[in-house]
Amino acid sequence: MAVSRIIDISTPLDEHTPAYEGDPVFERTVVASINEDGEGYNLSTLSMSAHSGTHVDAPAHFVARGKTIDQIQPRRWVSPAIVIDLPDGGPIAAEQLERQGIRTGDTVLLRANNSRREDAPPESASALTLEAASYLVSRKINMVGIDTLSIESYDDPSFPVHRRLLRNNVLIIENLRLEKVAPGRYTLIVAPLLITGGDGAPARALLVSRG
């Protein structure tokens, strides 16, 4: 079947990119510029967290001796994906994910914060409960992604949802843009930067629909 549409679901990296509380913000500094005569070149430096913008969490983010971003097999970055619309807000329970047609090997993308105001505090975002994380682990999925800064709520500083997923080799994608994406099945291509020893990495994420 021919490709009918490619949808970029990545959050741009610029001065407006939100950052998790306490993380370094993204900064781009111009080092050299092309002059008025067209001579020279453009060059800039980048400063950011490994978890800036749309990014992937590797197991090493929370698991001692867990796999780093460069140790993850490339085949995992191209995956069947299902976008699930969760319009009600609040914690995401396991019951909301049942009977959604999640298959083994899927990447599950949670469109859960589309109706939130842009100025709403991050801690008010819909996030995955531990029970829902356990359900996804039981389904043996590839990755889970969400349209906010963190896959789990800010309530528990021990990060139980991250730990449950990453200890069971379920990778996490955070800070996606899913507001223009219809629920349904796609192919996901997500390409994190190849950072040696990285606990995570910024990534470009694309959804491919087929007609």
Write the pLDDT tens digit of every residue in 37-83. Answer: 999 999 999 999 999 999 999 999 999 999 999 999 999 999 999 99
55 as an active site residue: the answer is: no
From 16, 51, 55, 61, the catalytic residue: 61
Position 113 scores a pLDDT of: 87
Q: What is the pTM of this model?
A: 0.93
Q: 150: closest CA among 179, 187, 125, 183? A: 125
Position 117 scores a pLDDT of: 59
> What CATH number belongs to 3-11+50-210?
3.50.30.50
Backbone torsion region of residue 158, taken as left when φ is above 0, otherwise alpha when ψ lies between -120 and 50, otherwise beta = alpha
Position 119 scores a pLDDT of: 62
Position 124 scores a pLDDT of: 76
Low-confidence ranges of the chain (pLDDT < 70): 1-3, 115-120, 211
Residue 198's identity, in one-letter code, is G
All structural domains of the chain with their residue ranges: 3-11+50-210
